[in-house]
Amino acid sequence: MSGRRLKRLGFLTIGLFDEADPGRGHEDTLRVLELGERLGFDSAWVRHRHLQYGITSPVAVLAAATQRTSRIELGTAVTPLGWENPLRLAEDWATVDILSGGRFNPGVSTGPPMHYERVKDALYPDTAEIENLGHTRLRRLLSHIAGEPVTDFRGTEGIESYSDRVQPHSPGLRRRMWYGSGSLRSARWAGENALNLLTSSVVKAEKPDDGPGREDFAAIQLSHIRAFRATHPDGEAARVSQGLVVVPTDSADAAQRAKYAEYASQRLPRTRQPQGPARLLFAPDLVGPSEWIAERLRAHAAFREVEEVAFALPFTFAPEDYEQILTDIAGRLGPALGWRPAA
């Protein structure tokens, strides 16, 4: 089937750690990012998890990663903005981008934090009821990243020098900002605001503008991509990254294959119909030989519309499993899809 050639290959990790030994888990994550660079991946992304045993501070982890890698792009997929102060986050993100030499790709989502009722008194003890957790908050962040003034004073006061915009300022960062979208409305908004689009293995079960109905994952995701590009200033050249869960088994041993099959089997029931009040539709995990996965992806209507992917690593696997999976993706699956590793 016709489609765009895969030009950029990335992966996503949650950075799982043991509460009793968090240092080891964070070191394992940094080593996975280093491995991705050695294997020729174009990008590596980390999840953002609060009050869980995954990466809670991507800024700190990726700042460390900038000093242990030199080429691979580093991103967040995604940072939930409801947990953040946009001005402070802009300072942190610009700093990471400067440290990386312009390799940072921050992804963000909007809306109330997960389990907001449980955490709002700790997060916003005095302002929880009046916090704007939607697109207005994101527009503030975009403005700060772009270098627009945040104060009316710039100059010297005594021996101190002051800027009227966020420092450091990283001029290219605004064009490398991504929006995590799972609905038609949010995809359009991302395009209208000249963000890049992160799609994943989850979408809202809604009727596409055209094509099959509400329970065809690929058709829904395709409609999001097309709506995004229709409203983006770059049109068909607007960047979209797809993030399905993909687990090649080419070099896996018998125990690994059994583990991977069990993982996918446990998650399969949720893909058969929309889940919960939000009617979220999940894509099935693709577990098997690289050629088999490549065939499934080439038949996926949304995959055929993208030129870059960030395949999601399963959250609960061991470092040696990630090494095997990433090695097979870079050495077998990627080339089967037309990708070539970076030098």
pLDDT at 183 over 70: yes
* pLDDT band at 313; cut points 50, 70, 90: very high
pLDDT at 213 over 60: no
The residue ranges of every structural domain in the chain are 8-336
Mean pLDDT of 167-194: 97
Mean pLDDT of 55-81: 98
Condensed to tens digits (0 to 9), the pLDDT of residues 124-133 reads 999 999 999 9
- Which pLDDT belongs to residue 4? 85
pLDDT at 212 over 80: no
Across 48-57, 214-223, 313-322, least confident range: 214-223
HEC secondary structure over the chain: CCCCCCCEEEEEECCCCECCEHHHHHHHHHHHHHHHHHHCCCEEEECCCCCCCCCCCHHHHHHHHHCCCCCCEEEEEEEEHHHCCHHHHHHHHHHHHHHHCCCEEEEEECCCCCCHHHHHHHHCCCCCCCCCCCHHHHHHHHHHHHCCCCCCCCEEECCEEECCCCCCCCCCHHHHCEEECCCHHHHHHHHHCCCEEEEECEEECCCCCCCCCCCCHHHHHHHHHHHHHHHCCCHHHCCEEEECEEEECCCCCHHHHHHHHHHHHHHHHHHCCCECCCCEEECCCEEECHHHHHHHHHCCCCHHHCCEEEEECCCCCCHHHHHHHHHHHHHHHHHHCCCCCCC
pLDDT at 250 over 70: yes
* pLDDT band at 110; cut points 50, 70, 90: very high
Correct CATH for 8-336 of 3.40.50.150, 3.90.1150.10, 3.40.50.300, 3.20.20.30: 3.20.20.30
Mean pLDDT of 65-81: 98
Condensed to tens digits (0 to 9), the pLDDT of residues 35-46 reads 999 999 999 999
- Which pLDDT belongs to residue 214? 65
Mean pLDDT of 27-40: 98
- Which pLDDT belongs to residue 225? 98
Assigned token pair, 43: 């990008």
- Which pLDDT belongs to residue 206? 83
- Which pLDDT belongs to residue 241? 98
Rounded mean pLDDT of the chain?
96
* pLDDT band at 209; cut points 50, 70, 90: low
pTM for this entry: 0.95
Condensed to tens digits (0 to 9), the pLDDT of residues 168-179 reads 999 999 999 999
pLDDT at 334 over 80: yes
- Which pLDDT belongs to residue 343? 80
* pLDDT band at 187; cut points 50, 70, 90: very high
- Which pLDDT belongs to residue 210? 56
Assigned token pair, 299: 């038949």
* pLDDT band at 3; cut points 50, 70, 90: confident
- Which pLDDT belongs to residue 211? 56
> Percent of the chain scored above 70 by pLDDT?
97
